[in-house]
Amino acid sequence: MSWLVQRSNSSKENGPGAATAEPVSHKRMEPPVESSQSVSDAFAEAKYRIHERLLKEMDLDKVQQKQGPELRKAVEDAAAMMLTSLEMPISRSERQRLAREVADEILGLGPLEPLLADPTITEIMVNGPREVYVERNGLLYLTDAVFRDEAHIMRIIDRIVSPLGRRIDESSPMVDARLPDGSRVNAVIPPLAVDSPTVTIRRFSKDPLTVEKLIEFGTLTPELATFLKACVEARINMVVAGGTGSGKTTLLNILSGFIPARERIVTIEDPCELQLRQPHVVRLETRPANIEGKGEVTQRQLVKNALRMRPDRIIVGEVRTGEAFDMLQAMNTGHDGSLTTAHANTPRDALSRIENMVLMANLELPVRAIREQIASAINMIVQVARLRDGSRRVTHVTEVVGMEGEMITLQDIFLFRQQGVNQQGRVIGALMPTGLRPRCIDRFEQEGIFLPPDLFAMRPLNGHAAMRR
């Protein structure tokens, strides 16, 4: 501890500080009895006092000479030594836990650190000091992680956004950011968040999921994976549609993995989430306005600029507003094979959303002209959904056929057909070909891609027939 602390004293400070980060549980814990509560309060108070004392006595010059596990061990050792001076009657395991949590407060994100270290967690949601939820396998669970108070949450938010040059205060009470591991962070503070500062963290696997894993999970079938790979290789323009948390970005990552390594890819995101493994990738990210309201760079500006960067493929993480028009223009002017995602519950809704986004560009185009642009630019819509059991499935693969009068015509190539729910609450169903031969199959053959002739053969399920809208 000598290298870490300039001098030791036994002063006792009081005030708001760090809170306990209890182990994650899969259910809400019952209210503890009074004696347990007093022990918990004493534990929290001891941790706070050690945390504050370390911050005051820490030799920052010597701290900067340590890195990684060596630094964490030194902080934990210093915390354990200070705990001994408090003469607090707690077990060895509790001492180790307290030292670990103090290190989390000083070196990391406090109560969030154990959750961030858990690979089974895909989302972390902080609703208040004592309401921290996580998502596992598509389902939500209340954890035992707690913050000391709202000020503690604010300190963690500041620790996340400050290194990125972002700010959050009353004049700018919302912020998007990302952690060093790529996880996406959204924070909202009062007055917009009425009850407490809130934090939502979308986790991403260090190693992106593979197509084999999605087949194992039931998201895709081997037949659909073969078809989607052919679509990407044949430079079919595709939109991945779905609701929040349905797996759009995960599937977009899978699709982008089929792009040949020889091509130049430009990605445009807000914020960056994709994990492309090709050697020639240029990543562009939007920028919010500064404190003076200047310097904002939008997705639309980035899409326009991307066209000047000689891209073979343009991938827009998610179209939200007027950049949809520029994306359609790119798809129609030699940038085939572009990919994007959109929030929508059905393929038809996805087209309506894109149409509305183009209208937001204030170009005063007639609706028919916009629909003609959409019909000629977008070839395939892949619809994903999170089902009631938490599983994520591709529910539609729908081809954009063309125009009939004022309407864009679609045909379903693959459909997920649900049969029911089993006793464990799991959805029973299958993703099946509809029997319709996609019109883009001719383009596959021109590119030298030949699919098995029975890939699209209809396999009836409970008498359902192929659907065409």
Q: Provide the terminal-to-terminal Cα distance of the chain, rounded to the nearest Å.
A: 71
- Give the DSSP H or E segment for 104: helix 92-107
**What is the C-alpha separation between 208 and 324, in angstroms, rounded?**
27
Tell the CATH superfamily of the 211-446 domain: P-loop containing nucleotide triphosphate hydrolases (3.40.50.300)
Amino acid identity, position 53: R
State what percent of residues in the chain have pLDDT above 70. Answer: 83
What pTM was computed for the model?
0.76
Backbone torsions φ then ψ of 173, nearest 5 degrees:
-85, 10
**What is the C-alpha separation between 102 and 47, in angstroms, rounded?**
6
For residue 217, how many other CB atoms are within 10 A of its CB?
Answer: 14
The domain 108-204 is placed in CATH, from the list 1.10.490.10, 3.30.450.370, 3.40.50.2300, 1.10.10.410, at 3.30.450.370
Q: Which of 4-8, 253-257, 396-400 has the highest mean pLDDT?
A: 396-400
Residue pLDDT, tens place only, 153-186: 999 999 998 888 778 888 889 998 888 888 889 9
Domain extents in the chain:
1-107, 108-204, 211-446
The DSSP annotation for 295-349 comes to --B-HHHHHHHHTTS--SEEEES---STHHHHHHHHHHTT-TT-EEEEE-SSHHH
Q: Give the list of residues 6+ apart from residue 184 with CB closer than 8 angstroms, or none.
A: 176, 177, 178, 201, 202, 204, 271, 273
Residues 202-220: what's their mean pLDDT?
86
pLDDT at 7 over 70: no
Report the pLDDT value the prediction gives residue 64, as an integer from 0 to 100: 52
Residue pLDDT, tens place only, 307-339: 899 999 999 998 888 889 989 988 887 789 999
Structure tokens at 436: 């319709």
pLDDT at 349 over 70: yes
